[in-house]
Amino acid sequence: MDTNKNATESQKVVKFKIKRQITPDSEAYWEEFETPWKPSLNIITLLMAQHTHPVTAAGHKSTPATYDANCLEEVCGSCTMVINGRVQQACTALVDKLEQPITIEPMSKFPVVRDLMVDRKRMFESLKWIKAWNPIDNTAPLGEGPKVSPEEQEKAYNFSRCMTCGCCLESCPQWSSDEGFIGPQAIAQSVLFNIHPTGKSLEDERVKGLIDNGLNICGNAQNCAAVCPKEVDLIGAISQANWQATKYMAKQILGKGH
């Protein structure tokens, strides 16, 4: 926890290393930085300090490390990084809970754009493959939606807290950004829309979208659920999706499919 026990508080520093990569094609390398310690620092404050003084611990002039961040309260999903080997949001990664030197690197499964910024476009694209929406007729004032029990609401809300952050995909041994397995994030969203009475009308198309995108590749490692910052029931979603896929296949075989 505290690596600087002998130092007085005013002299304490935080040591951290950032994995740098100038362009998508260039070699990655590490740079080490130091910043004065204060109570309640998080990784975002370290990166802000590095932007203010982009000088390495050895005194070499560097550049501000590029990174994604927006809400800084773990609800937008932007600032996902690998910190001390664990994928998580930089905003909720508190310095005092991390061994130093803290290592900060981009997620490894997504293409690096620059430094800590990665390209997560595929996560948003995959939502199109599974038609992740409720197909309402239009925005005219047509009255209330269908009644929903508190239990159904709680189930839907759990899936709907997914902030497309990428932790589950980074930790999944089967997922990669360019092919094959669609991954737990989109599977859970498919299940979410299949719960809703309006969304249900597209269930077959959604399930087909999952099957076409490697639903069966899941190896049940369950890493996804362990790293999800919002405790989305990814394991439950995958098992539900598999059951929906089985039903869909049976319908195809029996000739009741579209």
Footprint of other proteins (CB under 8 A): 22-23, 38, 40-42, 44-45, 48, 51-52, 54, 63-64, 66-78, 91-92, 94, 113-115, 117, 120, 124, 127-128, 131-136, 138-139, 141-145, 147-150, 153-154, 156-157, 160-161, 163-164, 193, 196, 198-199
Q: Residue 225: what are its φ and ψ, rounded to 5°?
A: -65, -35
Q: How far is CA 162 from CA 99, 112, 144, 159, in A?
A: 28, 22, 25, 6
> Residue 111 or residue 214: which is nearer to other proteins going by CB?
111
> Which residue, 16 or 193, is less far from other proteins as judged by CB?
193
Tokens of 84: 């001390």
Distance CA 59, CA 216 (A): 51
Q: Which of helix, strand or coil describes residue 81? A: strand
Rounded to the nearest whole angstrom, what is the least distance from the CB of residue 62 to other proteins in the complex? 9
Three-state DSSP class for residue 115? coil
As beta bridge partners, residue 81 has 88
Residue 105 phi, psi (nearest 5): -135, 160
Q: Please say which residue, 135 or 180, places its beta carbon nearer to other proteins.
A: 135
Closer to other proteins by CB, 3 or 52: give it.
52
CB of 54 to other proteins, least distance (A): 5
| Least spacing, CB of residue 120 vs other proteins, in Å | 8
